[in-house]
Amino acid sequence: VPFRPPLSPPAAPLPPLAPPLAETVCAEYNSICHCEHGIVFLGKAFRSGLPGKGKKTRTVIQMRQAGNVASTQGSVYCSNYAFPYRYDPAPMHYKHCICTTLMPP
């Protein structure tokens, strides 16, 4: 008689995937970004050029592809002075802020 291992219990269901992010440009530089319960990213407002020209960055991925970013939580003044260590992620470039929040279920 061939050996048969005992049946194992069914695998636990996978946890649900995190809801996708909602991303919106919440403020131009030196304006207030209202981002309750979200994370604000500061970075280049345009994908190319100095100080900036062409297509605007509309997502955090586009902003990161264009260069460095800074981030903080909640509603803030869209200026490097409002971010940790007053870090300027894009010196001499036009900048704006993008608010990322979890989309409601």
The domain of 87 spans: 32-102
Region 60-66 average pLDDT:
94
In a domain, 76, yes or no: yes
Q: What pLDDT shows up at residue 102?
A: 77
- E-strand stretches of 1-105: 21-28, 32-33, 39-44, 46-48, 53-56, 70-73, 76-77, 95-102
Model confidence over 68-79: pLDDT tens digits?
999 999 999 999
In a domain, 26, yes or no: no
In a domain, 1, yes or no: no
In a domain, 4, yes or no: no
Model confidence over 89-104: pLDDT tens digits?
999 999 999 999 977 6
53 membership: H or E segment, kind and range: strand 53-56
In a domain, 13, yes or no: no
pLDDT at residue 43 greater than cutoff 80: yes
Report how many domains make up the chain.
Answer: 1
Give the pair of three-digit tokens for residue 58.
């509309």
Pick from 16-30, 40-54, 55-69: least confident: 16-30
Pick from 10-14, 25-29, 54-58, 95-99: least confident: 10-14
In a domain, 8, yes or no: no
